Amino acid sequence: MPHDSSASLAGLTATQCTLWVVKNRMVSKRSHGIGSVSDHVQRVLIRIDTDGGPSGYGEADPWAVFSGTVESAVSTLQTYLWPQLQHQPIADIPKIMARLNRAVVGQSEAKVAIETALYDIVGKASGLPIYQLLGGKYRDHIPFSFSLANPDLEADLEMAQQMVVEDGHHIFKIKTGFTSHREDVRRVGKIRDTLPEHIDLRIDYNQGLEPFGAVSKLREMEQFNLTFIEQPVKAHQLEAMAELTRRLDTPILADESVFDPQATLRGIQAKIADAF
């Protein structure tokens, strides 16, 4: 719908919120250290309308074993978050997000759906790209990493080779930790041997390793010239993360251990990883 980019940002208020739950079919099963996804994934789409200005769109993409459920995201948006925003000015997004954080603990997926929709509105109303609202453009291109998570290794290899040849793709993240260590070594080794030498490979355990024995297992993985090893142990096992960071040559990347800025700061202070 056309909108007036000169609409007064200071006067814009949120008037209506519309939610949709959509299903997207999966091309193949995806296995991770903490669970698998097959058949389809569900997402929550949100549209926030304003009084005379543009509408904004956002998305919540929760996963039950990772960050919550679609049902909880919908309930949180309808019951707790939208009442904090309805008929309120939308220009000061950091102030709004602070209010939403006080209204309900956690529920990061639902909150980011609203935050994204608000930036969409402010960008349209001001005529500025979102990167300008977030501090400016740092680079012209962002490298894309594609995850290899199909239990059918041959199918993943065929797809990866096609992406390399046809699209020039050169970064792949291999999901590990959902099978035995020996099988992980075999899978990663075959992918490394099959793809061209310049391909950037990294592995992601999604919390799939137990701390006991993790050092020796990951040292064996280091033979494959990995860019990093992501979240090898459970999110709360911060001492184990720090120990792995100290003892391995390959950088450790924290993911599930750092769900918010406060957790990230604590992780940096405790040196639980090389990257966040």
Distances (CA, A) of 161 to 125, 150, 166, 173: 43, 14, 8, 14
What CA–CA distance (Å, rounded) separates 201 from 75? 39
Read off the pLDDT of residues 135-193 as tens digits, 9 standing for 90 and up: 999 999 999 999 999 989 999 999 999 999 999 999 999 999 999 999 999 999 999 99
Distances (CA, A) of 37 to 29, 101, 249, 260: 6, 29, 32, 25
Residue with tokens 């050169």: 170
Alpha-carbon span 53 to 88, nearest angstrom: 14
Q: What is the pLDDT of residue 35?
A: 73
Q: Of the candidates 98, 133, 168, which is a domain's last residue?
A: 133
- Angle formed by the axes of helices 261-270 and 238-247, to 10°? 50
Q: Which residue has the higher pLDDT, 107 or 67?
A: 107
Judge whether residue 87 has pLDDT over 50. yes
Contact 67, 76 (CB under 8 A): no
Q: What is the CATH number of the domain that holds 264?
A: 3.20.20.120
- Secondary structure letter of residue 152 according to DSSP: -
Predicted confidence band at 268 (pLDDT cuts at 50, 70, 90)? very high
> Per-residue pLDDT tens for 99-132?
999 999 989 999 999 999 999 999 999 999 999 9
- On whether residue 129 sits in a domain, the answer given is yes
How many domains in the chain? 2
Confidence of residue 5 (pLDDT cuts 50, 70, 90): very low
Q: Domain residues for 238?
A: 146-270
